Structure 1
Amino acid sequence: MGRRYVTVDVFTDRAFGGNPLAVVLDAAGLDTQTMQRVAREFGYSETTFVLPPADPAHHACVRIFTPEQELPFAGHPNVGTAFVLAREWAGRGEALPEQFLFEEAAGLVPVRPWLADGRLCGAELTAPIRFERGETIESATIARILRLPEQAVLADPHPPLVGSAGLPFLLVRLRDTEAVDAASVDEALLADLLGHHATRNLYLYARIGADRVHARMLAPLDGIGEDPATGSAAAALGGLLGALDGAADFTIAQGVQMGRPSEIRVSVSEGGAIRVGGACVTMMQGELLIREPGD
């Protein structure tokens, strides 16, 4: 049975930038094993599957898969899926909702379509939970894993720590953008020193003035050498900076070294609500032909 799919580049306003995403529409009836195989076939950092919601007041159930596992929540898959669904609705001449409500394993995720001069251009999600601060890791340990001098890993205003707004990341502030770009992971040491922690996914960042951040997301033990744009990590970082400052409003540049430059907009309210948004570009569309063995 054929299933329609659309691919988009997320957190970019131009083709071949940002983070690619495959969105499988009409996914009702696919089992978990098949979804995992499809995600592995696409080979993107994530693939989403759009299913009917359990509650008719919501717009869809969205399941998110990496090539290796299902995720309870992720950033660029929500932004990209909302963009694709808004594009579908507009193509049918239907009025867009103010926001989509997606049922996910982490909870209900609101995602608002972005319009510019009446044209669909992107989307913005609200994280399903407030920021959760987890364990801290010694700066010296992180420096060894990243093959950096210890002084390059800052402990002020926070030490390296696990933070989550739906998906946990190890948030590491580095001295400057040069340190972020120079970091490379010692995978054996990462597995040895952080194998028992809540996450081994490293989100490295440096501040550039008050409203801009330069970041990289490295997760080699989960099959992602580097991710060009990571909305869930951006949400976690936004939650942390909002907790430190009372509110936050900044833009993250990510994926620059990879040749897939991304712009992620993050805002955190005084009450701790975290929003992450960006532009999207449609890249491909087609039909996924899934046949059972023997067909």
Structure 2
Amino acid sequence: MQTVRFKQVDVFSNERYKGNPVAVVLEAHGLSSEQMQAVANWTNLSETTFVLPPTETTADYQVRIFTPQGELPFAGHPTLGTAHALLESGMIALPQNGRIIQQCKAGLITLDVKVDNTEQYHIAFSLPREKITALSAGQSKQFAALMNCQCDSQHPATIIDTGPQWVVMQAQNADAVLNCQPDFAQLKKHSSALHITGVTIFGRYPEGSIHDIEVRSFAPICGIDEDPVCGSGNGSVAAYIRHYQLAFKNPTAIRSSQGRMLQRKGRLELLFTENNIWIRGLSHTCIEGMIYI
């Protein structure tokens, strides 16, 4: 048996216990894939990460990301939570340019870190380059039916692949997102057939609201009926918005809310530059200590 440093970090919220938790095993070298999977299954969080020395010369660290059911090539909130834990613990130093590089199964992920006057880390990850596949009108209607959601018919349901593969759907408005009631058995069946992670739905708030969009992400095939706050899901929404050229008052920064139906207050910024999409949010450490493996 060995003891390993461990943190549990709440990601994508301005308040502790209102975001999405991720377990971070800080010194995972020497652990087998089977041990990592056993820990992830036991924590029963949407993701658990394991920090390893990088094998790429430009990376600051390497991370492996596990759900209770299996390994992911990339995921958003575990990326931010892991970076927060490493910076907070002093295991990596923040360069002057504020950029750090994460190595994961999806490749090298660039993170941008800003420190505010209360010494909180505002971390953004650069979304891996997406692959986009629009579903047919029939498939779009089928997904709208199994999600029990009033969807906008202007644009089709679309698979956005950034490592995780989300079917992204636009609802008529934010209320339609909050009111949708998925058929999880059917969603799991269709997710398996299409080899996707799950479905992410978004809808707009009225202009002048605190938030621009409401988002929900469902992934029963991964053992997660609903993800409280999903970085890759929001990243896929951002890719959908850019692909279909959806107009927003501020086209470079969209404010996203997620988690209301799970009594969470997820807050994310979807940032658009000429060549990249960035997903930014705050994290807070809630548990710190040792884990026995």
Instruction: Find the aligned partners of 1:153 and 1:220 in 2 and give their Cα distance.
Output: 21
Q: Which moved more, 1:66-75 or 1:213-222?
A: 213-222
The residue aligned with 1:219 is 219
TM-score normalised by L of structure 1: 0.89
For the pair 1:284 / 2:287, whether they are aligned, the reply is: yes
Aligned residues: 281
1:194 positional shift: 4.8
Q: Which residues of structure 1 form unaligned runs of 5+?
A: 291-295
Q: 2:173 aligns with which of 165, 168, 176?
A: 176
Cα RMSD for the two superposed structures: 1.9
Q: Is the 8 A contact 1:142 1:153 kept in 2?
A: no
* Aligned equivalents of 2:56, 2:187: Cα separation in 1: 42
* Correspondence 1:122 to 2:122: yes
Q: Which residue of the partner structure matches residue 41 of structure 1? A: 42
Offset at residue 102 of structure 1 (A) = 1.0
Change (3 A) 1:193 1:32: closer
Separation in 2, partners of 1:87, 1:212:
31
> How far has the Cα of 1:249 moved from its partner?
2.1
Equivalent-residue separation in structure 1 for 2:259 and 2:194 (angstroms) = 26
Does structure 1 residue 203 correspond to structure 2 residue 215?
no
> What is the rounded CA distance, in whole Å, between the counterparts of 1:233 and 1:47 in structure 2?
17
Structure 2 counterparts to residues 102-121 of structure 1, below 5 A? 102-117=102-117, 119-121=119-121
For 1:118-197, list aligned pairs within 5 A.
Answer: 119-129=119-129, 131-137=130-136, 138=138, 139-148=140-149, 152-156=150-154, 158-197=155-194
Alignment match, 1:254: 258
Superimposed CA distance per residue, residues 143-162 of structure 1 (whole angstroms, 9 cap, x where no aligned partner): 220234xxx21121x21111
Query: How many angstroms does 1:54 deviate by?
Result: 0.5
- Change in Cα spacing, 1:4 to 1:120, as seen in structure 2 (3 Å) is same
Tell whether the 8 Å contact from 2:87 to 2:93 is kept in structure 1 after alignment. Answer: no
Give the C-alpha shift of residue 235 in structure 1. 1.0
Percent sequence identity is 30
Pair 43,110 (structure 1): closer, same or farther in 2 beyond 3 Å = same
State the secondary structure of the residue aligned to 1:133.
strand
* 1:190–1:200 CA contact under 8 A, matched in 2: no
Cα distance, 1:189 vs structure 2: 2.8
How many Å separate the matches in 1 of 2:188 and 2:58?
Answer: 43
SS for the counterpart of 1:216 is: strand
Contact 1:82–1:113, Cα closer than 8 Å, also in 2: no
Corresponding letter in the other structure for 2:38 = R
Q: Could you tell me how far apart the structure 2 residues matched to 1:208 and 1:67 are?
A: 33
Runs (4 or more) in structure 1 with deviation over 4 Å come to 191-194
- From the superposition, tell whether residues 125 and 191 of structure 1 become closer, same or farther in structure 2 (CA, over 3 Å): closer
CA apart distance, 1:15:
1.2
